[in-house]
Structure 1
Amino acid sequence: MSTSRRTPVTTGLVTALVGFTSSFAVVLAGLRAVGASDTEAASGLLVLCVTQAVGMIVLSWRYRLPITLAWSTPGAAMLAGAAATDGGWPAAVGAFVVTGLLVLATAGWPALGRLVARIPQPVAHAMLAGVLLPLCVAPVRALVTSPWLVAPVVLTWLVLLRRAPRWAVPAAFAMTMVVVGIWLARHGDALDGPLLPHLALTAPTLEWQAVVGIALPLYVVTMAAQNVPGVAVMASYGFTVPWRAAMATTGIGTVVGAPGGGHAINLAAITAAMTAGPEAGPERERRWIAAQTAGWAYLVIALGSTALATVVVAAPAGVVEAVAGLALIGTLGAALHGAVTAEGPREPAVVTFVVAASGVAVAGIGAAFWALVAGVVVHAVVVRRASGADAADEDAATSPSPTPGR
């Protein structure tokens, strides 16, 4: 087999490995934060691997395009900072179903997508940055409380960040597994949890707090931070994503996977550059094979996802949270950049960021929703103020000079 034929397959394998190891700890943290038990969180990870794998296989085969899917990492980070709802885990599962239905509605009703697009981008980025901040602080706190356990992880990440940035987080994850293994061996603790794939189904319930506090922010952040950038990344390499088919596939996948604990799947953004870019081979018409390979690789990874989740649960406090925080550093940087570099007043984005980072919950609804509300309100006030000032300046410039007093 020639090198050009091996390249898409190799790239697909690397894409799946990097995508999974870079953020699966964030997914587990997010699901557990909204009420999932350890078994239910492991089931959610399994379901996400399978649904995004099937979606990639179908879309890349049908359109012969390197369409790569992923779970919503920003969405998982948002869940990690969400407030627990009155309905507990079943209500969170119901919110996941609503999120999937909203994505599905976006495929058939373009007006919904335009409505989301009307949310000022700096506000959306600031909300994401605010919910990411507490998670990105975790490595700092863990380094202080458990330096001998966390320092090797941070050092590995830092070295690879200089030498091979793409592998920085996977290498930090590998070091985390080494540290956890040594810790378990020294303390004589046995793994208490399933090692084989296990599906834990939960009947969804609808609670308005969960719909408002989880489903709506999850939908917005998934669209703004994953689906829209995913389309842009593909376009930068000369590929046009079939928007309706992609939204329908990810929406159906989210709805089907929700009872098993999956929060949301979407178009990939970062890993999309791997399958669509030159490293997937010089022949553009064959790069779809990279996405196809990544899909099949995720099905294989799914077989070991439950065992990895069990190891994460057994890890000493702070270690896995540290690697999850390191995995989100790049996303936080991008969100902050998007929040403050746009033209216009910065107050709406700053207010959004502060509210989201506060972690407050009002009426059982988490900070992410209130951050969006605050940011949109401040944006409306500032824009109206700016419009009024511009109109006043224009009137002053065109009005006749005042006559002297008689």
Structure 2
Amino acid sequence: MGGRSQPVLAGVVTALVGFASSFTVVLAGLRAVGADDAQAASGLLVLCVAAGLCAVWLGLRHRLPMAVAWSTPGAALLVATGPVPGGWPAAVGAFLVAGLLIAAAGLIPALGRAVAAIPGPIASAMLAGVLLPLCTAPVRALVEVPRLAGPVVLTWLVLHRFARRGAVPAALAIAAMAIALTAPAAGPGRLHLAPTVALTTPAWTVSAIIGLALPLFLVTMAAQNVPGMAVLAGYGYRAPLGSALRVTGLASALGAPAGGHAVNLAAITAALAAGPDAHPDPDRRWIASVTAGIGMALLGLGAGVATALVLLSPPILVEAVAGLALLGALAGAVAAAVTEPETREAAVVTFVVTASGVSLLGVGGAFWGLLAGWLMLLLFRRRTAVSGSDPAADAGLAEQEVEARSTSPVRL
């Protein structure tokens, strides 16, 4: 009996951890690009349902533990981007375009190869720049609302040391208790707790497509789908990437009018469903991902309650919980960005420009950071090709390059 229930329990844990660890990031992102309260709740609901249905379909069809989640880095990108020209309808249009691009990458191998051609350090630096503003929120919260943020951060620190998997959900629970104790008594009366779908007619602007849709596509591919495949490969699975991209891309496009920004292969929680803790037999672990999909869809029914929790709290406290959830992702992105000496300066330029939050011609910093990193790579490669050098220095550089290549990770 224990063997039969093990993958089911693993799936339940996967769904709970996936939802609780980052739903605050999703709500913060949707509200940052112009969603009102009902539209943000609708977006969270449709993301849960879309991710759940995709996981169930992929798991049953391929008999592989292909867990699906919303794009957490994509939600952080929304926070970093902020309001876009054209408002919420233009943001919805950008979500739709990003979903179609993901589906196209599954249909057109050349498009997938083009994304894979982006140097890994540059993609990681862009992701780090996107995550940085949210990851500084815990520090700002400790200064602005110390009595609320202090217990949250302390809980996260203690559990991060002794029970890392439960650190973020526990911090969220402490935040919810603090909110319940300090919220106005009449506050919840005006909130809509029932699950609702708020449809928005998409609008398309050039700046939203370039500044939001394209970076959302790239960060979802580079920071979610590619690592998600790597996790599955690490456990011995050869998952069909094309099928996953087509299914999640189509689901993202269909969910866009209801406010969903993107769903994709899970990266962080993928190991919960694909690892040996899900089941000793690798051929039985797909049950965990299917169960996680069902659980995620059911958790979507609580989107109204989750949104109410966010609305009753100081915005900086919500961002602080989101920032704690993303610290690990930031650490990984920074490490990957500066690993290779020959691309380190270009990666730093990408990171700085992206993190600056600048907006030029209505286009946000993520696009300009990626462009700046590419230009830096071209400049340095050209300078290396045309400039003379000292033989002794060449020998030293050659030795460094051999060492760097032997220790650097495979590029995305």
| TM-score (ref. length: structure 2) | 0.93
Q: Distance in 2 between matches of 1:289 and 1:233?
A: 17
- One-letter identity of the residue aligned with 2:303: S
Alignment match, 2:222: 224
Q: Is residue 130–residue 354 contact of structure 1 (8 Å, CA) maintained in 2?
A: yes
Q: Secondary structure at the match of 2:190?
A: coil
Q: Deviation string for 1:173-203 (max 9, x for gaps)?
A: 1111111111126x55334321010000001
The equivalent residue for 2:154 is 155
Report 1:344-359 matches (<5 A): 344-359=342-357
1:37 matched to 2:36? The reply is: yes
Q: What is the distance in 1 between the residues matched to 2:388 and 2:12?
A: 55
Question: Unaligned regions of 5+ residues in structure 1, if any?
Answer: 398-406
Number of the residue aligned with 2:309? 311
Contact conserved, 2:49 with 2:298, CA < 8 A, in 1? no
Instruction: Within 5 Å, give how 1:71-220 maps onto structure 2.
Output: 71-184=70-183, 188-220=186-218
SS in 2 for 1:318: helix
Does structure 2 retain, via aligned residues, the 8 Å contact 1:191–1:311? no
> What's 1:402 paired with?
none
Q: In the alignment, residue 87 of structure 1 is paired with which amino acid?
A: G
Give the whole-Å Cα distance in 1 for the aligned partners of 2:231 and 2:330.
Answer: 18
Show the counterpart of 2:233: 235
For residue 323 of structure 1, give the secondary structure of its aligned residue in structure 2.
helix
Query: In the alignment, which of 294, 297, 305 is matched to residue 296 of structure 1?
Result: 294
Return the offset for 1:338.
Answer: 0.8
Counterpart for residue 61 of structure 2:
62
Closer/same/farther in 2, CA of residues 307 and 388 from structure 1, 3 Å limit: same
SS of aligned partner of 1:115: helix
Q: Percent identity?
A: 55
Aligned to 1:404: none
Equivalent residue letter for 1:81? A
Q: Give the distance between the partners of 1:253 and 1:76, measured in 2 at CA.
A: 17
The alpha-carbon deviation at position 298 of structure 1 amounts to: 1.0
Are residues 1:256 and 2:264 paired?
Answer: no
Task: Letter of the 2:198 partner, please give it.
Answer: A
Residue type matched to 2:260 in 1?
G
CA contact (8 A) 2:56 2:294 kept: yes
Inter-partner Cα distance in structure 2 for 1:282 and 1:156? 33
Q: Structure 1 residues 212 and 392, CA, compared in 2 at 3 Å: closer, same or farther?
A: farther
Letter in 1 for 2:147: W
Counterparts of 2:60 and 2:188, CA distance in 1: 43
Give the C-alpha shift of residue 392 in structure 1. 8.9
Tell me how far apart the structure 1 counterparts of residues 315 and 23 of structure 2 sit (CA, whole Å): 17
| Secondary structure of the structure 2 residue equivalent to 1:344 | helix
Q: Is the 8 A contact 2:141 2:149 kept in 1?
A: yes
- Offset, 1:345: 3.5
- Structure 1 letter corresponding to 2:346: P
- Residue 139 of structure 1 deviates from its aligned partner by 0.7
2:406 alignment partner in structure 1: none
CA distance in 1, matches of 2:380, 2:189: 55
Alignment deviations for residues 148-175 of structure 1 (CA, whole Å, 9 cap, x no partner): 1111110111111011101110111111
For residue 372 of structure 1, what is the amino acid of its counterpart?
L
How far apart are 1:271 and its partner, in Å?
0.7
CA distance in 1, matches of 2:255, 2:175: 28
Aligned 8 A contact 1:191 1:310 in 2:
no
Aligned-partner Cα distance in 2 for 1:385–1:69: 43
Residue correspondence of structure 1 range 389-404 to structure 2 within 5 A: 389=387
Within 2, Cα distance between the matches of 1:138 and 1:386?
Answer: 40
Name the SS of the counterpart of 2:125 in structure 1.
helix
Q: Counterparts of 2:297 and 2:303 in 1: how far apart (Å)?
A: 10
Question: Contact 1:8/1:287 (CA < 8 Å) preserved in 2?
Answer: yes
1:41 Cα deviation after fit: 0.6
Q: Against the structure 1 CA distance between its residues 203 and 145, is the aligned structure 2 distance closer, same or farther, given a 3 Å change threshold?
A: same
The secondary structure found in structure 1 opposite 2:264 is strand
Aligned to 1:324: 322
How many residue pairs align between the two structures?
A: 394
Assess if the C-alpha contact under 8 Å between 2:73 and 2:220 holds in 1: yes
Is the contact between residue 193 and residue 304 of structure 2 (CA under 8 Å) also seen in structure 1? yes
CA RMSD of aligned residues (A): 1.6
